[in-house]
Amino acid sequence: MTKITVAPDCGNAPRKVFLRDFNVAFATGDSDFIISHVRDDIIWTIYGDKHIVGKEAFTREINIMKDYTADEVAIHSIITHGREAALNGEMKMGQKTYAFCDVYRFTNTTSNVIKEMKSYVIGL
């Protein structure tokens, strides 16, 4: 079971709650939830690693990643403004800990469908 820690102010707005849940889905391998919240033309850049374009390629990548769940995740902050948002935290997988930051662009200001993701992951 994954231990999840979320800063108290990360749940005080609907989009923050969605991003918290989206990241918990990554940590726990809930690929269906993740895939259902991206556009068909999603662009996902994982800096220093991959550039993924389209829902088909995104789905393949998520289905590979779902087997690598986190032991612990700490979400430190979630910032939202208009169509954009960012979330940062730390994740522990086995003996390794990673700091991460994801920057999101949604289809519009009220949607929870993600158009673009930019991910930064650093081993600590």
**96-119 per-position pLDDT tens digit:** 999 999 999 999 999 999 999 999
Domain range annotation of the chain: 3-123
pLDDT at 105: 98
Q: What predicted TM-score, i.e. pTM, was given to this entire model?
A: 0.92
DSSP three-state, residue 83: coil
Architecture of 3-123 per CATH? Roll (3.10)
Are 73 and 24 within 8 A, CB to CB?
yes
pLDDT at 82: 94
The first and second tokens of residue 73, run together, are: 């995740």
Q: What mean pLDDT do residues 8-33 have?
A: 89
Q: Name which of 26, 114, 117, 15 is nearest 67 in CA terms.
A: 26
Are 80 and 19 within 8 A, CB to CB?
yes
pLDDT at 11: 67
Q: Could you report the per-residue pLDDT of 29-52, keeping only the tens digit for each? A: 999 999 999 999 999 999 999 999
What confidence category does residue 9 fall into, taking pLDDT thresholds of 50, 70 and 90?
Answer: confident
Question: Looking at the predicted structure, is the pLDDT value of residue 8 above 90?
Answer: no
Q: What is the mean pLDDT of the chain?
A: 94
